[in-house]
Structure formats: C-alpha cells, structure tokens
C-alpha cells in the first residue's frame, strides 16, 4: 500500500510540474531523486543484457550509481543525464574517485533535449507521467535493437519482452521492485 501511495504522490507531483511549468524555460524535473538499491541496479543491467563496450544511458541518473556499475562491472561506456547540479557534482566526484572517467560521464542536461539515437541500452526510473513524456522521443530516435529497462513503471503501448521482480531485503518500505525489458 505504501508503494502505491508513493507512486500516486510522485505521479501527481510530476503531472502538476508538467501542467503548470510548461512555459518555464528551465529543464523539466521528471522525477524526484529516489536512489535505486544496488541489487536492483545490477538486475537492471543484467536484464538489459549489457555487454562490454556497449553504450548505456541512464535517464535521471541521480548519484550516478547505474552509470558507475555499468562502467565498473560491465565495461560499458555509460552516460548519465541529470538536471540537479548537486547530484551532477556528486556523481562526477564518485566517477573521478573510482578512476572511471574513460568510461563514465554525467551530463547536466534536460532529457527532452537529449539524443537517444546512439545507446544500446537505456535505463529509466522515472514516474509514469514522465515515461509518457519521453516515450515519443525514444520511439522516434532509438536505433533498431536498442533496449530499455524501466524500473517499477511501464511504457504505455510497448510490448514487454521480459518482466522480473527483484527483492531488496534491506528495504522494509519497498522490498520488491519490478523491472521491465523492452526492445526496439
């Protein structure tokens, strides 16, 4: 029940931002910062079949944990997109500390301005309304064979290739996480 309430509140917040901030020239914040647990990060990259040398984009990369794991454990070229300057700074420092600069980068950029034609895999932990917002861009730009992994929220009208549930025993509030694999 807590998860449904959280999902509803987060969706309502994003919907209000979209409706009332549409004329605002600032980048649109498509989701609050809500860190993905480490077991879920690993499961996302494994479900996405990430391979060494592939390019992965993490949309709304927060503290950079998906980008860092993609580079460090999978040998992928990883790019995170984040609009919060504090999180961008924190992520870049974490990347620098781990000496992953050659494989991992964080862009402070509005997702609505990003080019989605290059990645092999895109990871997403955005709200349902935000998925709706970026979906046309992904449909228009993604290359054939590219994959999308969405955490907890689906994309409307897209055929789910595979769905898994990941347990995080360290999280009493939200111990189960759904992951959805899509392929272009």
Q: How far apart are CA 130 and CA 110, in angstroms?
A: 12
CB 164 within 8 A of CB 179: yes
How confident is the model over 120-161, as pLDDT tens digits? 999 999 999 999 999 999 999 999 999 999 999 999 999 999
> Which CATH number characterizes residue 52's domain?
3.40.50.150
Q: How many domains does the chain have?
A: 1
Q: How far is CA 76 from CA 13, 25, 50, 122, in A?
A: 34, 33, 7, 12
Domain with 97, as residue range(s), is: 2-183
pLDDT of residue 31: 80
The Cα–Cα gap between 49 and 89 comes to: 29
User: How far apart are the C-alpha atoms of 179 and 168, rounded to whole Å?
Assistant: 13
- pTM for this predicted structure: 0.84
pLDDT in tens, 68-88: 999 999 999 999 999 999 999
């Amino acid at each position: 029940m807590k998860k449904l309430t959280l999902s509803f509140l987060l969706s309502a917040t994003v919907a209000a931002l979209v409706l009332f901030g549409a004329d605002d020239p600032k980048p649109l914040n498509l989701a609050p910062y809500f860190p993905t647990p480490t077991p879920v990060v690993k499961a996302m990259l494994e479900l996405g079949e990430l391979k060494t040398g592939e390019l992965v984009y993490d949309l709304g990369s927060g503290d950079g944990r998906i980008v860092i794991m993609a580079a460090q454990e999978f040998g992928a070229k990883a790019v995170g997109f984040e609009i919060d300057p504090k999180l961008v700074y924190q992520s870049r420092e974490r990347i620098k500390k781990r000496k992953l600069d050659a494989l991992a980068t964080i862009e402070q950029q509005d997702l609505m301005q990003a080019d989605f034609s290059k990645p092999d895999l895109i990871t997403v932990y955005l709200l349902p309304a935000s998925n709706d917002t970026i979906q046309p861009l992904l449909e228009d730009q993604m290359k054939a064979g590219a994959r999308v992994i969405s955490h907890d929220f689906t994309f409307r009208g897209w055929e789910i290739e595979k769905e898994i549930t990941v347990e995080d025993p360290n999280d009493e509030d939200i111990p189960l996480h759904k992951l959805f694999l899509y392929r272009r």
